[in-house]
Amino acid sequence: MHKIKLGLIVGLSLCLILVAVQNTASVQASFLWFTGEAPIILLLVMAAGGGFILGVLVALANLHKQNRKTTPRE
């Protein structure tokens, strides 16, 4: 089982490295009134990081909401 996990980690790491190496070209990106050029990989990492942070915040908000419902008030 340990070798399988290690193999998966190595395989996924290699895939991530390949994506990073192949996506170094700069592209023009626009957000609201901001426009600039950035490497594709940077935009991918920013989008994934933003999605991760948003997911964590939503999960924490739901957890807080559930705790308020189950906790008796005095």
Q: Which residues contact 43 (CB under 8 A, 6 or more apart)?
A: 27, 29
Domain holding 68, by residue range, is 23-74
Domains of the chain: total: 1
pTM score, whole prediction? 0.62
Q: What is the model's pLDDT at position 74?
A: 59
Q: How far apart are CA 66 and CA 18, in angstroms?
A: 41
Q: What is the DSSP letter of 25?
A: -
Q: In which residue are the tokens 């994934």 written? A: 48
Instruction: Specify if 13 maps to a domain.
Output: no
pLDDT in tens, 19-67: 888 888 888 988 888 898 988 888 888 888 999 999 999 999 888 888 7
Instruction: Specify if 5 maps to a domain.
Output: no
